[in-house]
Structure 1
Amino acid sequence: MNQFASGTGGATSIILNAGKARIQGVEFEATAVPVDGLTLSGSVGYTDPKFKEFAFRDPATNMIIDVADEARFSNVPKWNYNVSAQYQFPSFGFGELLAQANYSYRSKMYFFPLDRVNIFNEDIASPGQGTLSARLTLSEIALGGTGAMMEISAWGENLADNDKLLYGIDFGGLGFGGASFAEPRSFGIDVKFSY
């Protein structure tokens, strides 16, 4: 696994063999069509990763010690779920209208395994966060007698305008850390042509 480290000599990424780990979890998915044209779906997942052994060279003593009890898996949230709804409207004759909405969530996630190496690990961790998006698409629009078709979609992303933390970096040895965030609420229109 990668371990980021920094100090007065600069920053580097070290490859470590943590030793031994156990990852277990469960995931459920379901889809329902309660009425014609309406599709509801959802999923939930739980992941329980644990280090059984994590060999670490203590810089104070230069001895190899086992820090499995304090190490965390990086980039692995414990919980995630997703719910979505899609409705296909009856045909209008001049096109097909489809409406979609989706909400996804994941729990808190750390970017580095050891606080003793990355001292800002807790500060730059990504908190539990959700994303709401929606799309309305009108497709199969015939362009005269040319055989060409057009599709128009209006969409919105991050509709709740959450400050979504994507990644954190810890320059603990240099006294600071940083983070990058996803785009704020955004809207757009897509137009596609097929010939």
Structure 2
Amino acid sequence: MAQIGVERAGDADVVAQITRRAFDRRNGEEVEMIARIRAAPKFILALPKFILALSLVAEVGGRPVGHLLISRDKLRLEGGQPTDQEGLMLGPISVLPDAQRRGVGSRLMRRGLDTAASRPELVVVLIGHPEYYPRFGFRPAREFGLHPDWDAAMVYPLWPDLSAYRELHLPEQSVCRCNAWRKPLQADHSQPL
């Protein structure tokens, strides 16, 4: 069974390797996304109390096999301007190919969402397979009046009333990721998670 722990100092290279292998058909886009999040000033400033608690590594027999990152960003207005409303972005979540379909990703998701529930933000957003993530409680962003209106744009409410987010757009990082995922998701829902 996979053991889930907080990412430790020095795990960045291992996380990059896991992510690269998990998304080998995606030309390193997810690895670059993690690097951009790590390079953001809010990541550095929040490192001791925030991000490390939400950057998780799964190990099986002491071998790192999976990673999940949840970061914080502002939701945006239609023109792209940031608002004061913050949300948590889940992703990427990566599991080595030889460890997939063994519950590693599910354990990472549950631990990440449990940790997110203790945060002050009201929502977790992700871009991913619309047939997979609802099992964890994710629902289409459109149900909450959030944009973009794409099947891959999903929300996990941490609070029952998300009316303050109505008509807002997912964080910029999510939308960039969504544009990359949108075409493959429409074309092929059979890719392994």
Common topology (TM > 0.5):
no
Q: Greater CA radius of gyration, 1 or 2?
A: 1
The structure whose RCO (Cα within 8 Å, separation 6+) is larger is 2
Scaled to the shorter chain, the TM-score interval is under 0.3
